[in-house]
Chain A
Amino acid sequence: MSDRRNPFGVPPEQTSPASPPDIFESLPVAAPRERDRAWERKHQNRKVVYRGVDPKAALQVRQIADELKVPTGEVARALLEYGLDAYSRGDLNLSPRPNPARLRMTLFPSKDAPARKVKKAGKRKPSKEEAWRVITTWRNFSPELKHEIAVLASDKGLDVPVGELVSVFLQYALKAYESGDLALQPVEKITRYSLALGGDF
């Protein structure tokens, strides 16, 4: 293999001082477009960030959005509205339990959760990413819905982490979507009009 040539090497007969300069140096290379974040700045109140949302449910929301070719936030909004409606009607029963590890209640009680965690001395093992560390961000979200969910999750409501509440609503609505009880119908969005030329001028 020692006699292997470099595909981009200059042939020996071209290495004289009269050789042209390296053409690769002047090759125009494209750079990715810089994203204009003006929309995000303008619609800051339509952005929502939740911690501890079930990652599988969040991924499913994204997949549905991809299938329907609509923004992920709109799918999340539709699913959460469905879950919230079901809760208001009494179709979805939420019964928070005390969480032994925290002060707040939980919607996902673990049967074998220890009453109190005792930290062992020594080196801390790297653990799996805990649910509360997972951050989910959606845009195109309704500020009213965001407020409604926050109030329901607060100590004036169910007193549970908002991520848990969002997870329960999403799981409920996703189940309904899969069974066909909830239909998501994308509609064409007209963003601008153009003038049609016609008639007598």
Chain B
Amino acid sequence: MSTKIIGIANQKGGVGKTTTAVSLAHGLALRGKQVLLVDLDPQGQSATALGRSPESGVFYLLTMGNSQQESSFVQSWVRSSGRDGLYLYPGDQQTMAAQTVLNAQNQPVSSIRTALKPFFKEGLHYIIFDTAPSVGGIQERAVWASDLVIVPTATEFLSAEGVGKVAYMMSILQQKKGWKGALLGILPTFFDAQTRESKITNTALQERFGESVLEPIHRATILRECAASGKTIFEYDDKCRSAEEYMNLTKLVLKF
């Protein structure tokens, strides 16, 4: 199986991108896959959620060239997450600087995919991107590098509106930049069946995107608690509803 890149993207913040990226990455690892989680968010919270510290690896991934020496250096930033099959490529606030460099150098949209090529030979099954809630270079390049994109969205009006913007970006990347990837699905998060807003927004998503809307992840305090303790939801409580929902997402991803 060749390495598959999955981007978790939405320009809106606070929609559960990091939680989804970390849970999906660990879920895939628990299913026996070799997974590299790349933290493209300058907040560096994928590392924090896994109980590790943010580091500047992504800055070098995005700004170094492709010579053998540079590739070796870039690969040296891969960190063990302390979990079987799950590796972390950490980022921190330096990633913001990398964005400026990318734009100043007018790097092509394919630059992140090119930078990741050395990793394709490492026996990895999946590379997961946790992206930043912004536009300006990195997110577009991350989506272009992705074979599949999952768009998490909180089930409320403003977040759902953000989905339209990501969808627009993907259409443009496909039409103008030759992107060969595809949308895997829109993932409603923070779903609360008790509130009218959640239900209406979920219905609006389904009317607009049909079968591309995945089973929602319910709002759960436990997801915040496990991040606080540096554990994934599968480590914190693998029997809870959130763990079950993220494992269902994992199983779905394995079908693609």
Contacts and interface: CB of A to CB of B under 8 A. Distances in A.
Nearest to A25: B171
A28 B204 contact: no
Interface in A48-72: 69
Given A26-B174, A28-B183, A33-B256, A7 B32 contact: no
A7 B209 CA distance: 12
B148 A8 contact: no
A198 to B, nearest CB: 17
Given A8-B208, A23-B171, A30 B256 contact: yes
Contacts of B170: 27-28
Nearest to A22: B171
Category for how many chain B residues contact A: 20 to 34
Given A8-B164, A27-B183, A28-B182, A33 B255 contact: yes
Nearest to B172: A23
B160 interface: yes
Interface in B133-172: 148, 157, 160-161, 163-164, 167-168, 170-172
Given A32-B255, A33-B256, A26 B175 contact: yes
B183 A32 contact: no
A128 B196 CA distance: 37
A26 B32 contact: no
A31 B179 CA distance: 16
B250 interface: no
Contacts of B179: 28
A7 B157 contact: yes
A30 B171 contact: no
Interface residues of A, number: 16
B212 interface: yes
Given A33-B256, A69-B32, A7 B183 contact: no
B183 A30 contact: yes
B200 interface: yes
Nearest to B181: A28
B16 to A, nearest CB: 17
B201 interface: yes
A132 B164 CA distance: 51
B226 interface: no
A14 B255 CA distance: 39
A179 interface: no
A24 B255 contact: no
Contact of B183 (A4, A6, A29, A33): A29
Contacts of B167: 23-24, 27
A46 B231 CA distance: 41
Given A28-B174, A32-B256, A33-B255, A7 B184 contact: no
B68 to A, nearest CB: 14
Interface in A14-43: 23-24, 26-33
A24 B163 CA distance: 11
Given A28-B170, A32-B255, A69-B32, A8 B181 contact: no
A6 to B, nearest CB: 6
A134 to B, nearest CB: 23
Contacts of B185: 30
A128 B170 CA distance: 49
B196 to A, nearest CB: 8
B160 A7 contact: yes
A154 B164 CA distance: 64
Given A7-B157, A8-B208, A24-B209, A30 B182 contact: yes
A6 B201 CA distance: 9
B114 to A, nearest CB: 21
Interface string A77-88: 000000000000
Nearest to B166: A27
Contact of B148 (A26, A30, A69): A30
29 contacts: A4-B200, A5-B157, A7-B157, A7-B160, A7-B161, A7-B163, A7-B164, A7-B204, A8-B160, A8-B164, A23-B171, A23-B172, A24-B167, A24-B208, A24-B209, A26-B174, A27-B170, A27-B183, A27-B212, A28-B170, A28-B171, A28-B183, A29-B182, A29-B212, A30-B148, A30-B183, A30-B185, A31-B256, A69-B32
